[in-house]
Amino acid sequence: MKLLEEYADKVIESGAYEPLDRIYVLNKIRALVGDEDVEAAADKPLVAQLVDLAVKRGKIEDGQTAREILNDQLYDLMTPRPSVVNREFWEKYQQSPETATNWFYKLCTSNDYVKVAAIKKNVVFDKPTKYGNLEITINLSKPEKDPKAIAAAAHDTKKKYPQCALCMENEGYKGRLGQAARSNHRIIRMTIGGKQWGFQYSPYAYFNEHCIFLYSKHEPMKINRQTLINLVEIENQLPAYFVGSNADLPIVGGSMLAHEHYQGGRHTFPMMKASIKKPLQFADYPAVEAGIVNWPMSDIRLTSADATQLIDLGTHIIDFWDHYSDESLNIKAFDGDTRHHTVTPIMHRDSEKYVLDLVLRDNNTSDKYPLGIFHPHEKLWHIKKENIGLIEVMGRAILPARLKDELNEVKKFWLGAENKIADSHLPWAKKVQAKTKITKDNVDEVMEQELANIFANVLENAGVFKEDVAGQAGWDRFIKQL
């Protein structure tokens, strides 16, 4: 069949247009790729063929950004308008929240907003540690930044539109150098905490149904009582999803501190499975079960069907930690007016109960630890140097794409083959080799287990109360004063 005609039929089959619209749809496609139709190939996605055709005809330049923009413009043809998407979502929500999210997620994968093919390239596995199975991913899905975009950004001082990648103004935005294509992007409007928020999926998902809840205004992230109220309201609306917030400070926070948002999805993380190692009692909050979690980071878990008591106790812990110092453990709340303490809050449902994990964070630096005292330490940087955000706090490592090739060279080194092992990996590789008999049959298993062990060390580095005598005594002092 002819390429343009076949894609027009696919657009109509999606439901975004009706059969009577076929000529109109064909002309929309022609405007993007040129008028003349060609034979469709059976072994390549239709949109990829259309993009190649547009390049061949000089309709777009042969560059990463131009290709992404056209790709999303073509998929936008099979995506209903935002008003239609929102109406359909909330109609299906009347059946059940899961009916609505299942429909919306299918839409976002079928129209290539969620980059399913790219996500499948990621390396994903889990391995046991003393904290349970930890999940390791090497992120190969998210494309490297366009070199032209990097160069343009270096000389661009103009105020941006959209202001950031999380602003609602991204919905339907064509894209440009340095600003992602979003023609096929749709956002569900929600009321959270009496204000308008958006609900969308993440294009390069790190786990199943990875979604983002974003405030309608471009305002900085903050963790306080309202955060906990918002998390409860999201759980009430979408009880099958967990929801959490990155911390609101540099080093211990995420990469998007300028825009208030949360992340969620349908995934049970290792931290959620972790047991309570020390129960806690708070007499003023009898409806709340509490305890310190058996986890490498410093986590207090609150569980209750009483949302008010849960929020009240959670707020008390956040406010107390905000001003708490224990300089014998390098824990320091303030330098003058500069705040160093916050939490990473994460919530999910267990039947009628809300489960709230509050992970204590400290972003102090020192001469010994210039990137952060409670941050991956230098000996681990060859594997993980980046900030430890929400997803990793919960036990799922997001490792850089460079490691795929680098670790293949490490395996060659272990097997005595010709290799180009990076100097940064050599001390670790020799240490592993000295303690383990490595063969062709077990080299992958050894590598996976060693990465899980390193990730456990990374999380231990990020914990404020360590798993040693001094750290546990520090926990006791904190809890007693709390």
Structure tokens belonging to residue 191: 């009321």
Q: Which residues pair with 345 in a beta bridge?
A: 358
pLDDT score of 343: 98
Write the DSSP symbol of residue 356: E
Per the structure, the complete domain to which residue 14 belongs is given by: 1-62
| Residue at 28 is within a domain | yes
What are the residue ranges in the chain where pLDDT is below 70?
A: 144-158
Contact 184, 77 (CB under 8 A): no
Residue 386 domain flag: no
Q: How far apart are CA 469 and CA 106, in angstroms?
A: 50
| pTM listed for this prediction | 0.94
Q: What is the CA radius of gyration of the chain?
A: 25
Cα–Cα separations (whole angstroms), residue 78 to 8, 109, 152: 9, 12, 32
Task: Report the distance separating Cα 455 and Cα 469, nearest Å.
Answer: 22
Q: Find out whether 69 and 61 touch, Cβ atoms under 8 Å.
A: no
Instruction: Look at residue 290 and tell me if it is in a domain.
Output: no
For residue 197, tell me if it sits in a domain: no
Asked, for residue 159, whether it belongs to a domain, the answer is no
- On whether residue 37 sits in a domain, the answer given is yes
What pairs with residue 289 in β-bridges? Answer: 303
User: Considering the domain boundaries, does residue 17 fall inside one?
Assistant: yes
Q: Which residues contact 348 (CB under 8 A, 6 or more apart)?
A: 235, 241, 242, 243, 272, 354, 355
Total count of domains within the chain? 1
In a domain, 50, yes or no: yes
